[in-house]
Amino acid sequence: MDTTVHNPDQYMLDFRQIITNGRKKIGLLIGAGAPVSINIGDSDNYKPLIPNIEGLTNQVRENLKGIEKDAYISLEQQVSSSNIELVLSRVRGLSEVIGATEVCV
């Protein structure tokens, strides 16, 4: 049975060769958490480039006022784990059920 060996030096040499030729296209995969790790605040106050779901949920909750905030809180209480994704999924589901029917407030 053949044994394979991972040689990082060979991979770096191949990578340099690809970059210098310019003939092959290179793609980089960046994970979903990458923008959260980039700090655009100062050293005392961490602020991510793009907030994670919890941060986005808090921003929405803080910026809603009046009847919109009441509606959001009501929707938040209907889902088991409260975050903006689940609340929006609930809204989408309710809108499919209601369809074109006019809703009286």
User: Higher-confidence residue: 18 or 96?
Assistant: 96
Report pLDDT for 104.
Answer: 61
**CB under 8 A, 24+ apart: contacts of 98-101:** none
Domain boundaries, the chain: 53-99
Confidence of residue 66 (pLDDT cuts 50, 70, 90): very high
Q: Is the per-residue pLDDT at 102 higher than 80?
A: no
pLDDT digits (tens, 9 = 90+) for 1-38: 677 778 888 888 888 887 887 677 777 788 878 888 88
Angle (CA) 44-48-88 rounded to 5° is: 135
Q: What pTM does this model have? A: 0.60
